[in-house]
Each structure stands twice: as structure tokens, then as C-alpha cells.
Structure 1
Amino acid sequence: MTLSSLSSHELDFIDDDEFHEECGVVGIWTTQDAASLTALGLHALQHRGQEASGIVTYDGNQFHTHRGLGLVGEVFDDPRVIASLPGGMGIGHNRYATTGETQLRNVQPLYGDFEFGGFAVAHNGNLTNAQLLKQSLVRRGCLFQSSTDSEVFIHLIAISLYSNVIDRFIDAIKQVQGAYSLVALSKDMLIAARDPLGVRPLILGKLPYSQDENSWVVASETCALSSMGADFVRDIEPGEVIIIDHDGVRSIHPFADNTSSRFCIFEYVYFARPDSVIENKSVYMARKKIGAELAKESHVEADVVVPVPDSGVPAAIGYAEASNIPFELGIIRSHYIGRTFIEPTDQIRNLGVKLKHATNRAVINGKRVILIDDSIVRGTTSKKIVEMVRAAGATEVHLRIASPPTQHSCFYGIDTPAEEKLLAHTHSIDEMCKLIGADSLGFVSADGLYRALQEDKRNNQNPQYCDACFTGDYPIPLTDHDMQLVKSK
């Protein structure tokens, strides 16, 4: 692999102080060119995973697969690749590894030949009992070809005693714990499913311009629909299984009444693309409202509000509007560092933040600055950005964060450090402020975050979202993690 195609893990000398996106999935049913549309959708979902990408299509006779390491534009840069994926049905996947190393064998969609024919699956999320299930499956003779938890679905479907694809699929998802949004493809149907708590997003859309009126799209976010000119139909519900075939769309609710919404609140804070709409909420407007709540809760007198780009921009706009302080782009981000040709020496590691961000001295020099960022992970990036802003002439630097302190690891599909490496887990806010070097530090409260999302406040008895990274309230059992803790004692 060349330096020009380094994965995000291999570039962690630059971005190891950020939360990393999970994965993105796309499914297309009965259009004339499923591969091209799937690739367009994956381009729009590139923010959800930059390590690898893959597409599987079916042309009515056989399945076709292309997977590779790198960005969508790199994996599918040759028109001959798309031409090698004929068919009107397809699924695609962008990967950021939360389980399993970065190798081609872990790139999704995963495909298997079953007695009922070919079957491909793509998964966004993380299973919390994957290791326990894998041990059981290996004892039964299953041979795993990858180290990703997503392969568990393939083997559970393979050994199921049910006769048809849907019953096997439902049998499989009833055995897993964790967060999952799935798209799967057989020769007869496209299947989409969300876990019973709907932690990860998944939406249904329609292609209005297709010659076939029965043309549908499933994707992680609405921004994928926009890229291919599809219309939004609705969010797929928690615990719902959607089956799309030649008869149209039908819905199954295999978990009966054991479903409720605990959607990942961090999608609104950081992960989803700002132009997406999730659960009837504009992500962009939600982030602006979070910024406004932040201004109400921890305002400080200053001359200018400056976002840490790009994720801090909407919240900074909301903060500026609520506080009547001018908004300025005091930090400019380079969008090309992910493809650096520079060898990552120790000196470059120390300059990593400066490679990614540059200060706009004209709007910072001599000013009291309020810096707005989405979160603090390890704190190393925040410290360097505060130093950069001071070096650009700021007289005061007040750091405001558009989420509560991140004190706990995520086990549901977001790549986060271990708790002991999260700054907020080991330090008080005052200690964090001193370490980072800001004049003051403030976070939006959990209730403020909920108010921004049109809730009165967090219901401690029945939280409306999954906010485990802030509260430690994990709504899904952490079976594998708990087993490891027991073994380590």
C-alpha cells in the first residue's frame, strides 16, 4: 500500500484524538444500474467510513462483487469496475473498523453461497455478544473468514433450520445483541433491518425517475438519497425488518413489543452529515440549537465566536446568534491531509494539528475568542488548537463544547478509546481546562442537549436516546465486554 492510500488507522498520527465514524450502508432494488447508484450513495456517506468500500450486485443470474481498501472514489475510480457489477439490485458498504483489523477480508458487504442461493450482508453497528456467538458457532464447525463481528450474521443464517430466507434472517437477528442497521441481498429480495432500540440510523427512499415503479433505496442517511435523486419515504423503525421484492415493500416486526427508540444521540452531535434529516429532525438545525443551549448555559463575554471546523460550525452559528457575538471562521481546515504524501516522522506527528488546521489571524488577533467544538476525546487536539489560537494573537480563549463530557466508551459501533484514555473520565472540568490551557471550559448539559432535540430534558427513568458515552447508561447488555472483565480478574 502506498502512502497516498493510507487508511485512517495508519494516519492516526493526525486524527487519533477524534471519534471515528461507524459505517455507512446502501441498498438498491430494481433499477437498471444499481452499481452506479450504490456508488453515488456511498460517496454521500463517505463521512461514515473511509477505510474501505464494497458493492455486491445481482443481475438475475449471478452475483457480482467488488471490494477494496480506500475511499469510494479510489475503490470505484475505474468505469470498468462499475461495468463489472451489472444488475438492478445491489448493496454497498463504507467501512470504518470498530471490530477487526483493516484487511480486505474484513471489507463488506460479506457474501456467502447457501443452499437457497447467494446472500450478501452489510452492517453498520457493533454486536455486543459476537465473541460468545462466534465461540458457539466455531464449536459447531463454522469457519470464519474474517475477524469482523458482522460475519456472525452469515453463519447464523447458514445454520438456521428454517426453510426460507426471511425466517433464517429473523432467526439470526433474534440471537444477536448490540446495535445494527443491516442491508442484505438475496436473488429474490432486498432486506433491511434495525435493532430493537434503533441505535443506528436507517431510512427508506424511492427512486421516482426509474422506469420501474417498484424502485427503492435503503440507506444510512437521507444525504445518500439526495445524491441519487431519490425521495425520502420514512425512517425504518426500531426492530423493524423491511422486505423489498417484485411485489413491493412489506414490513415485519419480529420483536413484537420489545422495541423502543434509543437512537444514538451522538449522530446529532457529530456523526451524521449536517444536511441529513434523521427522525424528522434536521441535523444542521439540531446542531444550531445545541449551540444556542450552550450559549444559555455557559455564556462568557467575548468578541468573536470561532468554530473548530468542520463539525463545530453549526453549533458555533447557533451560539453566535443566541449570544449576539459575531461569528467568524478563525480556523481554516485543510481537507486534503487524509492523502498526505509526507512521511509521518516524529516531527510531523507533533505538527499533525497544524497540518489539519490553520488560524485566520485577521479575525483572531487582539480578540477574546469563544472556541466551539463538538467534543473532547483525549484532549490533545484541543490543547494544540488553543495554543494555535493564542499564538494568532487571541487575548482570551474560552472553549465551549457542544456535547456533555464524554466519560465512557461506546460499544455500539463508534470507535472510541478505552475509558481511561478519555480525558473527561479521569479529570474534572477544572482540571481539563487547566490541562488544555483555556481561560474557561464549558460543556452543554445533558438536559440542554435533550432540549435542543425538542425534549424537555433527559428522562432518567426512560431516556429517549442512547447517551451511554456521556452517562454510562448502556441500554444493551455488554456481554462480551463483561466476559472479558470476568476473565481479567
Structure 2
Amino acid sequence: MARGDGRLTHDLDPQDLGPQDACGVFGVWAPGEEVSKLTYFGLYALQHRGQESAGIAVSNGTQILVYKDMGLVSQAFDEATLASLKGYIAVGHCRYSTTGSSVWANAQPTFRSTATGSIALGHNGNLTNTGELAAALAGGDDLDLGLDLDVNGKEAPAHARANAKHGASSDTDILTTMLAGYADLTIEQAAAKVLPKVRGAFSLVFMDESTLYAARDPQGIRPLVLGRLERGWVVASETAALDIVGATFIREIEPGELVAIDEQGLRSTRFAEADPKGCLFEFVYLARPDTQISGQRIHTTRVQVGRVLAREHPVEADLVIATPESGTPGAIGYAEESGIPYGSGLVKNAYVGRTFIQPSQTIRQLGIRLKLNPLREVIEGKRLVVVDDSIVRGNTQRAVIKMLRESGAAEIHVRISSPPVKWPCFYGIDFASRAELIANGLNTEEICRSIGADSLGYISLDGLIEATTVPKDRLCRACFDGIYPVALPDPEHLGKHLLEQPNGRTDVDGLATVTGGAGAADALSRP
């Protein structure tokens, strides 16, 4: 259902925000095609990766135009707007904020003027040395970037001084300003100089007036793929977006690779050695089931996860059901492996979207029934296995279990298709803070009591990795084991609002920003 601020979420309980991905990116170079509409449909396919804002930039070879707005892709664009965005190169973006507030200034693609033209950029991921990069822009250039700008001085080129005045506060804004900051370099040359200095997760799609670029961090934490059209090229966060626009999947953009596409063709350079550490949670939840990552089909992988889960945590039961939609493939696999029949015990309302009604505390618990409703005739008197993808705070599972018991379920055995999430993500997933992660404060038995289940079983980390068939040393597992593949700075240099002044800010809708929650201690005290 919708969050209290009116923006769409996958979550069943508006007070229990599950893992939110940072963004979806899409780029196309295709002379003779309606690139704005191709990008629109590509972003539609990536809407699950970000619902706060959407934007498209296009170039006709001499000028870049950018249009962006808050809300879903379908709300940000109409036919007239798309028709006005004419060109043969486009970059698109749908955003969920992980650094910087959810405000229009932080919507993407970001845009900057350069000494010879302009740049528009979309970013999926999250940088970990944003503070260091911001300091370099502020004049304390310890990164040996040789930038032709000083935001506090008067000698910087006019385009650099103008860039410094933008009101955005995201890591993407910092990165775009840096790429635009060289008077004597092309964007491609600037990228080769800047990207080796950037730390964290970044899958980038950007453009100048004549060239489309794509780049991926040396760890390849977030996905990025290359596709071929009859008359051009496409770059996207997921292969599902290629399918939507009729592009043929060619390959993944390699970790540490910079790709440039123009009238001369496609060329590839490497700005860093590859050290693959793809996000394991993409397999669990983030990616669409019809996407392919590391050669593996996500739906097939999630079904296999369910099979492994059944072997690790068997139970006597009458029916396997899923918390739709993300729990469905795992439930199918669990049923296939266990021999317990699979059924639809919860009906999802597919038409729940944005709402600007802020529920009062007395009716908030009804919210889950707006999204899900149990089939009493299916579950009454049954011993149920309920499969879900993950548990963050536990509020959603608690509400589902209560609803199932009220509908006559005899027993409820919860099975989770991921290990306990104990650590926050600094690479582009907006989990709860560590204090709010229920598995950080409680063991499995305590969580089981807290959510009201008869039993609870998580897949093991090794079991999950086995199901992906990707070698363990090529995966980022930080949210599960606390081992971060890219070094993190001191805590004061991390955080969503790192680049903003602490001024009692409210979000774009005027509602106060939530900075904390009750967490595990509160969960333990619940019946």
C-alpha cells in the first residue's frame, strides 16, 4: 500500500518499511527511434527499483533537455511531455533516495553544464566516500583530482560556479558536478579521471550531447546490462527492461568498466580492476523475477531457494502459501521439495497504489487488509507454511499471522527465503537502521514468539549462496554477515542526509522525517 507520505511502496504495513532499492537506470542510443518513449517503457519495467521520482534526459546532438518530477513513472510523464523530448540519445531514472531527501532537486537525471556542453546522469547505488568527494569540491582537494573549480572562490569557470549553486544534496549530484568540472577534458576523459576515486556502489548511465556512457563500480554491486536494438544500443539496470523495449541482451557491463556509445560505435575501457561482489539481496528480493543476473534467472533461483529452505527447515503441514508477490517463487520451491501442496491463501489487491490519506493509529492495522486478504475457505483448519522473502522489523509478519489465525489457521510455520538481516546496507538498499533490525536484537526463537508463529526457519547463508550458484567470494553478503566489501568511513561520514544541514527538515510533503524506531526491544515486548 502507499506510505503515509503518498508514495508507493511494496510494503504491507506503512510503518514497517521493508528493503527499498536505490534506483533504476536506463539509457538508449538509437538514431531514428523515439528514444523518450523507449526510455519511458524501460523505466516502467524498472519501477520496482524506485517510486519517489522519475526523469528522462534526451539529446538531439546539440542540446540536452531534461524533464523530471516526483512520483511514479506514469505520473511524471504524459503523451505531450514525451512528444516534446526529441532526440536520439536518452537517459532515464526512477529513484528511491538513499543519500539526500526525497525532493525535486534530488530527482534524476542530474544535469550540469560543462566547458563545452552539458552532462545528464542517472545513478543506481550509493557512494561511501561522499563526504570526501564533497570536501574536494569545497576546495580541500585531497583526492588529487585537479578539478577546475573552487566553489568558494571566484576564479572557477562560469559553468563550475553555476554548478556549485544547485540545491541538490545527493551523492549523485556531487558525482555529476565532478564529471563536469574539467575545462580541458571530454566527459569520457573526465570519467576516466574521476571514477577511480569514487568508492561504494555505482551503476551509472550518463550522456553528453553526442555520446551515451555506462559505468559500473569495480565490485559490480548493483546490476547493469547492455542490450542491442536493430538501430542502436540500450543500457539498463535489469534485463527485464531490455525485454520490454525489444532489445537483445548482449552482456553485463563489467565491474570497473566504462562504456561509450556514439556514431563511431561502442568502445570499452577499464578504469579499475574488477573485484566482483554482486549484491546477494538482488537474488532474494530486489530484482524482478524475469530478470537475469550473473547468468542466473531470478525466478528459477528463488524457486531453488525454496527447495533448499524445505530441506533445511522441514515441517509437517497441510498447505504452503506465500506472502505475495515476493514470497511466491520460494513457496513454490518449498512445496515441490517437501511434497506439501501449494495454494493461494492470501489474495493481493493489484490496484492498491498511491493514496494521500494518512491513516490514524486506530485504523492503521486495517491497512494490511487493503493489500492482502485471506481466503478463509482455503486456510481454515489447515497447518500452514507461510513463505516470505525477508523479515526486517517483523511488524508485517506479525500482522499477517494475526490475520491468518483470525481466519481459522490451525498452525502457522513461517519460512524465510533469506538469512536474518542483521546489518544495514551502505551500497544502495534503504534497510532500517541496525537498531531497528529485529534480527540484530533477537534470536530466531525470540523472533518467532514476537511475530506469533508456531515455528520460524530462515535459510542459511550457505544455503542461499548454493541456490544462486554464484561463488561466495563474488557476492556482497554484508547485510547478512557484516562483511563489507568496500571499506566504510567513520559513522559521522555516512547517512542519508549527510549533505544536508540539520535544521528540523520536513520531507517534500511537509511530514516530519522519521529518524528512528522502536526496534528489537519493542518487538520482544509484543505478544
TM over 0.5: yes
Q: Is residue 331 from structure 1 mapped to residue 346 from structure 2 by the alignment? A: yes
CA contact 1:161–1:168 (8 Å) conserved in 2: no
Q: Is residue 267 from structure 1 mapped to residue 285 from structure 2 by the alignment? A: no
TM-score with structure 2 setting the length: 0.86
Q: Which whole-Å CA distance do the structure 1 matches of 2:465 and 2:489 have between them?
A: 28
Q: Which whole-Å CA distance do the structure 2 matches of 1:68 and 1:336 have between them?
A: 22
Q: Which whole-Å CA distance do the structure 2 matches of 1:39 and 1:23 have between them?
A: 15
Q: Superposed, which structure 2 residues align to 1:237-248 within 5 Å?
A: 237-248=254-265
Residue of structure 2 aligned with 1:481, choices 482, 491, 508 = 491
Q: Tell me how far 1:3 sits from its aligned partner.
A: 10
Question: Counterpart of 1:378 in 2: which secondary structure?
Answer: coil
Question: Counterpart of 1:150 in 2: which secondary structure?
Answer: helix
Question: Counterpart of 2:353 in 1: which secondary structure?
Answer: helix
Q: Which whole-Å CA distance do the structure 1 matches of 2:283 and 2:10 have between them?
A: 27
CA contact 2:114–2:181 (8 Å) conserved in 1: no
Question: Counterpart of 2:250 in 1: which secondary structure?
Answer: strand
Q: Which whole-Å CA distance do the structure 2 matches of 1:470 and 1:3 have between them?
A: 26
One-letter identity of the residue aligned with 1:33 = E
Query: In the alignment, which residue of structure 1 is the partner of 2:477?
Result: 467
Query: In the alignment, which residue of structure 2 is the partner of 1:379?
Result: 394
Amino-acid identity (%) = 42
One-letter identity of the residue aligned with 1:217 = V
Question: Counterpart of 2:421 in 1: which secondary structure?
Answer: coil
Q: Tell me how far 1:11 sits from its aligned partner.
A: 9.3
Q: Is residue 176 from structure 1 mapped to residue 198 from structure 2 by the alignment? A: yes
Deviations 1:143-165 (A, max 9, x none): 44201110111221233475222
Question: Counterpart of 2:38 in 1: which secondary structure?
Answer: helix
Query: In the alignment, which residue of structure 2 is the partner of 1:40?
Result: 41
One-letter identity of the residue aligned with 1:124 = N
Query: In the alignment, which residue of structure 1 is the partner of 2:249?
Result: 232
Q: Tell me how far 1:350 sits from its aligned partner.
A: 2.4
Q: Is residue 306 from structure 1 mapped to residue 307 from structure 2 by the alignment? A: no
Query: In the alignment, which residue of structure 1 is the partner of 2:56?
Result: 55
Q: Tell me how far 1:470 sits from its aligned partner.
A: 0.3
One-letter identity of the residue aligned with 1:242 = V
Query: In the alignment, which residue of structure 2 is the partner of 1:29?
Result: 29
One-letter identity of the residue aligned with 2:349 = S
Q: Tell me how far 1:484 sits from its aligned partner.
A: 6.1
Query: In the alignment, which residue of structure 2 is the partner of 1:428?
Result: 443
Q: Is residue 253 from structure 1 mapped to residue 270 from structure 2 by the alignment? A: yes
Deviations 1:436-482 (A, max 9, x none): 110000000011001101257x4xxxx22001000000001112536
C-alpha distance 304-416 of structure 1, shift in aligned 2 (>3 A): same
Q: Which whole-Å CA distance do the structure 2 matches of 1:347 and 1:111 have between them?
A: 44
CA contact 2:11–2:18 (8 Å) conserved in 1: no
Q: Tell me how far 1:334 sits from its aligned partner.
A: 1.8
Deviations 1:399-436 (A, max 9, x none): 00000000000000001111010000000001000111
CA contact 1:288–1:318 (8 Å) conserved in 2: yes
Q: Which whole-Å CA distance do the structure 1 matches of 2:452 and 2:425 have between them?
A: 27
**Runs of 4 or more above 4 Å deviation:** 2-5, 8-13, 482-485
One-letter identity of the residue aligned with 1:178 = G
Query: In the alignment, which residue of structure 1 is the partner of 2:68?
Result: 67
Deviates more, 1:443-452 or 1:156-165: 156-165
Question: Counterpart of 2:271 in 1: which secondary structure?
Answer: coil
Q: Superposed, which structure 2 residues align to 1:442-457 within 5 Å?
A: 442-455=457-470
Deviates more, 1:158-167 or 1:352-361: 158-167
Give aligned pairs, total.
472
One-letter identity of the residue aligned with 1:373 = D
One-letter identity of the residue aligned with 1:38 = T
One-letter identity of the residue aligned with 2:251 = R
Q: Which whole-Å CA distance do the structure 1 matches of 2:122 and 2:490 have between them?
A: 22
Q: Is residue 19 from structure 1 mapped to residue 29 from structure 2 by the alignment? A: no
Q: Which whole-Å CA distance do the structure 2 matches of 1:7 and 1:331 have between them?
A: 24
Instruction: Provide the aligned C-alpha RMSD in A.
Output: 2.1
Q: Any stretches of 5+ residues in structure 1 without a counterpart?
A: none
TM-score with structure 1 setting the length: 0.93
One-letter identity of the residue aligned with 2:177 = H
Q: Superposed, which structure 2 residues align to 1:277-426 within 5 Å?
A: 277-340=292-355, 342-426=357-441
Deviates more, 1:370-379 or 1:463-472: 463-472
